[in-house]
Structure 1
C-alpha cells in the first residue's frame, strides 16, 4: 500500500508554496526521514522528508504551486529489486565477499549516498564538486554545508590523488553560468543555438561578425525569474510604503564605551558562555529596554485597533544568497547578553545555511537591521509590516567630535529609527532613539536596567 507525502502545515501568514526541486529522482529508493523535495514559501525554503522507506513516485513537477495538504508524491513498497539498496549498509561486516558488496555500494553511492540540503547543493554546484567525494557528517549520511566548506578548505591537497580526470575539468566551472539561486538553470539556453552557425559558414570574417554582434547582445542582459522569497520581499516592501506613514529619525552614538567594555571582557565572556560577545547584543538589549518605555514601537495596527504587546519578539535582519530574511528572537526581554548572543548566532547561522523554519521567521514585533556590515554609513530602513518600528545600525567610523569642549576622535555610528507615524508620535520616536543612545554610551546602565 502506497504512502502519500503531503505539503505540511505552513505558517499562519503563508497560504501556499512552490515546489522548487526534487532532491530524489522518480523511482528512487529512499530511506525514512530522507529529504526528497524542497519547497519555497514567501519566507524560506524548507525540505520535505519521506515519512518511511519506499520507492518515490512524483505527483508534482518543479515550479508547481501547492497548498497545505496537497499530495507531492507517493511512496510505494520496495520490491525485491530495491532490497540491495539497503544491503550495502549490512554487507560490509561480511568478510567472504568484500569485492561483491563493494561494487553495488559504489554504484549506489553515486546516486543515493550524498543527501544534500539546499545550502550544500548550492556550494557543490557553484564549485563544480562531486558530492560523492565529500565526507558527509550529517545524520543518515546527509551532506552539510559545513562538510562542503571543509572540503573546499582542503581542496588544494585533494586534486592530486583525484587523478588527471578530475584535475583537467578544472576549467569547467568558469564555463558554466554561476548558479546563484535555484533559478539559475532556468536562464535562457536559447543563446546556445547561434553557436553552431559559425562552422557551416565558409567565410569566417563575414560569418563571424553577425555572430559576434548577436553574442554581444545576448551577453548584455540575463533574464532570471524572481524567486518566491524575492517576490514576497518586493510585495511586502511596496505594501509597507503604501499602507504605513513611514518617517525616519536619526541620531549618532559614540560607541567608545561599548568597544572598550567589549575588548576588556570578550575573552572572559567567550570562555564562560561559549559564544563571542558582539555589538548586536548591546543594541538588542538597549532596544528592549527602550521599548519598555515606548510600547507604541512594539505595537501594530489591526483594523481600527492598536494591539500592544508585552513580549518583545526581536527580528534580526540577515542577508543570505536567497535574499533578506528576518529570523525572530523570541522573548528577547527575558534574555541577558549571553542568551541574546547565542540565539542571534544560531538564527544567523541557520539563515545563511537556508535552514530556518517558518516558525523562526514569523511573529516579530520589532526589527534591527545592520547595514554597517556592508559599509553603509546612513540609510532609512523600511518597516517590516505589520511592525511599527525598525532600528537601523550603520558603519562605525572615527570622526572628530566635541567632548568636554575639546575636539576628540571617537568611533561614531549613525543610527536610524523608521516608524509608523499612525501609531508613534515624533516625540516618542526621538525619545526611543535617545534612550538607546544613552544606554550604548553608558553600557553599565543596561546591566542595572536603568
Structure 2
C-alpha cells in the first residue's frame, strides 16, 4: 500500500493559509476520490475539500480549528494496491506549528526570491503586502510566525495593534517642503471592550466560520470608507407579473419565482451602465472586472456565506431563478464547492426575505459595492394628483468611496429603479 499526503489547498490567488473548520472523515474511514474530506475556511472562501484519491484515512496531521499555511501536509490517505515505493513521506509530528509546506515550483520561487527586492514581492504574499500597506507597516520589520519565519496576515495585524502611536504615520518632510500625497495610514486597532459575564450566562467559543465572518466584517469596516445611498422603487407591475406567473412557473421550471432574479437582472443592467461598480480595490490601482459574477449573501445554519452566480449577464430571469435556488440549496446543505464561492465581482443581498425595509450592508471587500433588496410592501402613494395603493420596495447601496463617488452610485441606483419600474404584468421572463 502507498500513502497519499493531502496538503492544505490554495483556495484563491492571494490566499496563503487556511483554517480547518471540521473533518468530514475520521481515521480509519474509507473515502472515495472526489468525496468531501474536510471543510476549510480562509479569508476569501469557505469550502469542502475533496479527497484526491480513493483509499482509507490513515492519519490526521492537523486538528480541526488549526490554521496552517498553504501546502502544509494535513492528512494521509492509505491507497490500496499502489506501490509503496512511490509514497511520499509524511512528517512524524502532528504539531501544526512545526509543519512545513511542501514546496511547489511557485512556492519555491517565492521563498527563494532575492532579498534585495525593493518592494518585498518575492518574500511576502499579495495579501500580506496589501494589509501592510493599509496599516503603513514595513513587513521587513515584522517577526514572522508562519512556516519558515514567513510573515502572515495575523503578524501584520498584531504589529498594527502593538506599535506605539508615534509610529502610526511615517515621518513628514520639513515644513518648508510640500508633503507628498500618500495613502492614508489606518489608526492602530482598538482593543475591544470585554463582555461582562454574570452568573447564569452561557459562554460559547466562536465557531471557525464565525471567526472568519467577524474578521472579514471588521477588516471591511476598518479599511473601506463606506458610503450609503437608498432609493424607493414602485414595483407594482413586477408584483402583478410575479403573482400571475408564480404557480405556472413552479410547475414548469421546478423552482419558485421570487423577486431576487428580477433584482439581479436589474443589477446587471446597472453594472453595465456604471462599470466603476463592477471593480475591485487593489491598493495602488483599481481593477475593472470584465465578467459580471454576482455574489448572493445567503444565511445558513453555520453562518453567512456568499456563493456566486457566474456570468449573470448571460442569464435571463429563468436562468437566474434556477441558479440562485441551486446555490441556496447547496449552501444550506453544506455542498458548495470552491468554484461556487470564488470569483464574485459585486454582491446582492435579499434582506427583504427576513422582513427588513432598510439596511446598511457591509461591503464584501475587495469588491466596491453591495446592494440590498428590501421587503416589498403596499403603501399609499401619490400617482398624478391622486392617492393610490402601490407595491413599493427600498433598494439600499453601500459603496467604496475610494473608487465610486456619489454621482456614479446615484446613477447605478437610478438604472436599477428604471429597470424594475419598467416591468409590467405582460413582461416576458424568457
Per the alignment, residue 230 of structure 1 pairs with 210
Given candidates 57, 60, 67, the residue that maps to 2:59 is 57
Task: Give the TM-score normalised by the residue count of structure 1.
Answer: 0.63
Contact 2:240 2:425 survives alignment (8 Å): no
Per the alignment, residue 77 of structure 2 pairs with 75
> What is the distance in 2 between the residues matched to 1:232 and 1:334?
32
> What is the distance in 2 between the residues matched to 1:24 and 1:298?
39
Task: Give the TM-score normalised by the residue count of structure 2.
Answer: 0.66
Contact 2:233 2:395 survives alignment (8 Å): yes
Deviates more, 1:426-435 or 1:35-44: 35-44
Rate the CA distance shift 1:436–1:51 in 2: closer, same or farther, 3 A.
same
Could you tell me how far 1:52 is from its partner in structure 2?
2.1
Deviations 1:259-286 (A, max 9, x none): 1011122334344433322110110001
Q: What value does the CA root-mean-square deviation take over the aligned residues?
A: 2.7
Contact 2:295 2:346 survives alignment (8 Å): yes
Given candidates 312, 324, 327, the residue that maps to 1:332 is 312
Contact 1:285 1:446 survives alignment (8 Å): no
Rate the CA distance shift 1:444–1:44 in 2: closer, same or farther, 3 A.
same
Deviations 1:302-331 (A, max 9, x none): 233222223211111101122111111111
Per the alignment, residue 142 of structure 1 pairs with none
Give matches, 1:9-408, under 5 Å: 9-26=10-27, 28=28, 30-33=30-33, 35-42=36-43, 43-49=45-51, 51-54=53-56, 56-76=58-78, 218-224=199-205, 226-408=206-388
Instruction: Give the secondary-structure state (helix, strand or coil) at the position aligned to 2:295.
Output: strand
Q: Which runs of 5+ in 1 are unaligned?
A: 80-215
Rate the CA distance shift 1:291–1:74 in 2: closer, same or farther, 3 A.
closer
Rate the CA distance shift 1:300–1:18 in 2: closer, same or farther, 3 A.
closer
Per the alignment, residue 402 of structure 2 pairs with 422
Could you tell me how far 1:77 is from its partner in structure 2?
6.2
> What is the distance in 1 between the residues matched to 2:32 and 2:14?
30
> What is the distance in 2 between the residues matched to 1:29 and 1:234?
33
> What is the distance in 1 between the residues matched to 2:344 and 2:40?
23
Rate the CA distance shift 1:444–1:288 in 2: closer, same or farther, 3 A.
farther
> What is the distance in 2 between the residues matched to 1:55 and 1:395?
48
Contact 2:4 2:78 survives alignment (8 Å): no
> What is the distance in 1 between the residues matched to 2:299 and 2:223?
25
Contact 1:30 1:53 survives alignment (8 Å): yes
Could you tell me how far 1:243 is from its partner in structure 2?
2.4
Per the alignment, residue 106 of structure 1 pairs with none
Per the alignment, residue 109 of structure 1 pairs with none
Rate the CA distance shift 1:446–1:390 in 2: closer, same or farther, 3 A.
farther
Instruction: Give the secondary-structure state (helix, strand or coil) at the position aligned to 1:401.
Output: strand
> What is the distance in 1 between the residues matched to 2:229 and 2:31?
55
Deviations 1:176-232 (A, max 9, x none): xxxxxxxxxxxxxxxxxxxxxxxxxxxxxxxxxxxxxxxx955323232x2332222
> What is the distance in 1 between the residues matched to 2:212 and 2:23?
22
Could you tell me how far 1:51 is from its partner in structure 2?
1.6
Contact 1:439 1:445 survives alignment (8 Å): no
Rate the CA distance shift 1:285–1:447 in 2: closer, same or farther, 3 A.
farther
Contact 2:22 2:40 survives alignment (8 Å): yes
How many residues get paired?
311
Per the alignment, residue 189 of structure 2 pairs with none
> What is the distance in 2 between the residues matched to 1:245 and 1:29?
48
Deviations 1:235-269 (A, max 9, x none): 22222222222111111112211110111223343
Confirm whether residue 410 of structure 1 aligns to residue 411 of structure 2.
no
Rate the CA distance shift 1:23–1:274 in 2: closer, same or farther, 3 A.
closer
Could you tell me how far 1:6 is from its partner in structure 2?
0.7
> What is the distance in 2 between the residues matched to 1:293 and 1:77?
54
Deviates more, 1:1-10 or 1:435-444: 1-10
Contact 1:35 1:50 survives alignment (8 Å): no
Contact 1:41 1:229 survives alignment (8 Å): no
Structure with greater proportional helix content? 1
Deviations 1:140-194 (A, max 9, x none): xxxxxxxxxxxxxxxxxxxxxxxxxxxxxxxxxxxxxxxxxxxxxxxxxxxxxxx
Deviates more, 1:422-431 or 1:284-293: 422-431
